[in-house]
Amino acid sequence: MKILLTHTPASRRQYYGDRSLQGLQALGAVRLHDGDDALDSQGLIAAAEDVEIIVADRMTEGRGEIFPLLPKLRAFVRCAVDIRNIDVSAASAAGVLVTRASPGFVPAVAELALGFMVDFSRGISRATADYHVGRKPEVVMGRQLAGSRIGIIGYGSIGRHLARLARALGMEVLVADPFVTLDDSDIQHVSLEELLGRVDHVVCLAVANAATENLINATALARMQPHAFFINLSRGNLVDEAALAAALRENRIAGAAMDVGRAPDQMPSPALARLPSVVATPHIGGLTPQAIEHQASETVRQVGLIVKGEVPTGAVNAEHWTRRP
């Protein structure tokens, strides 16, 4: 079985450890992508000409045109949760199986949300930046997370984990998610409009899709309290960045933190990240050894089953898989 791992060398070092690579190599002849840039469609077609399984990083798109031109390809395995840049319909029409990894980054992303909240509440980044340029920081009264309110938009696995952490710190937790039923009387299930108007920290964890495009827009931001902070750990397309920039420049909200945005590779947009009331990180919410090991090793398990002609957990179009071994 011939397998293509599309990660660049730099990405491979961070996102696909030696143990997982060795596990993949035990299952077949693994071809590594050695270029510094992600493979585009033409490059992917050339690299996978005689390949049966592609194990792809999040930067490698599975566009529709590749599948008819790769007649030996049996499966497109994504080493990530997000498969929006894979044309699953085209893969299905060609009989190619598409899989994705389960989220192993839940604790990591939830902990980053806490880090952002602590930073905002105590002015850590602001004071540090002043010290770094030789300026005396302003002494500002901080806030405690204990006794404050967190509003979680989207109550999936990360939202649930974050809610538990927040409650352990003594925070009041509000959740807005029309698709879940809460059975915890200590958590308030409210509308998005009510949540935005009542909390001190708004944490966006909603699923990114057409319905949530620009969910946080000028109207939503206008509902937030002037002392409140907005944190985005989901995807950049949930936020109207022009509206957020205006709200920050006009001091209508206290600040924003983001690990995602509309820049390439889902990075924060530089124009927004450089605003003085913004704390930004380069999409590293799930970049911990535990999280990366989880997703990389899951691709090894998936490939192992695919080689045997079995459908792995994580398959999204198993009913259309006709190119079985």
Name the nearest CA neighbour of 276 among 135, 113, 108, 111.
135
- Torsion angles phi and psi, residue 4, rounded to 5: -110, 125
Same fold, 2-104+288-320 and 106-280: yes
Q: Is the pTM of this model over 0.75?
A: yes
Name the nearest CA neighbour of 47 among 95, 8, 87.
8
Residue matched to tokens 């302003």? 138
- Torsion angles phi and psi, residue 258, rounded to 5: -150, 140
- 2-104+288-320 is classed CATH 3.40.50.720: yes
The pLDDT value recorded for residue 238 is 96
- Residue 75 CA, chain-centre distance (Å), reads 23
The pLDDT value recorded for residue 117 is 98
CA distance 124 to 130: 10
Count CB neighbours of 9 within 10 A.
Answer: 11
Task: Give the pairing type, strands 2-5 and 53-56.
Answer: parallel
pLDDT tens profile 5-54: 999 999 999 899 899 999 999 999 999 999 999 999 999 999 999 999 99
| Mean pLDDT, 10 residues at a time, the chain of 325 residues | 96 91 96 95 96 96 96 96 94 98 94 97 94 95 96 96 97 96 92 98 95 97 98 96 98 98 94 96 94 94 97 97 95
Q: Where are the domains of the chain?
A: 2-104+288-320, 106-280
pLDDT tens profile 116-143: 999 999 999 999 999 999 999 999 999 9
CB-based contact 52:72 (threshold 8 Å): yes
> Residue 244 in 3-state DSSP?
helix
Residue matched to tokens 């809610």? 163
The pLDDT value recorded for residue 183 is 84
How is residue 62 annotated by DSSP?
B
The pLDDT value recorded for residue 288 is 94
The pLDDT value recorded for residue 268 is 97
CA distance 102 to 80: 7
Residue matched to tokens 């509902």? 223
Q: Which residue type does 44 have?
A: L
Name the nearest CA neighbour of 172 among 193, 192, 144.
144
Read off the tokens for 117.
Answer: 């909240």
Which CATH architecture fits 106-280?
3-Layer(aba) Sandwich (3.40)
DSSP secondary structure letters along 131-146? HHTT-PPP------ST
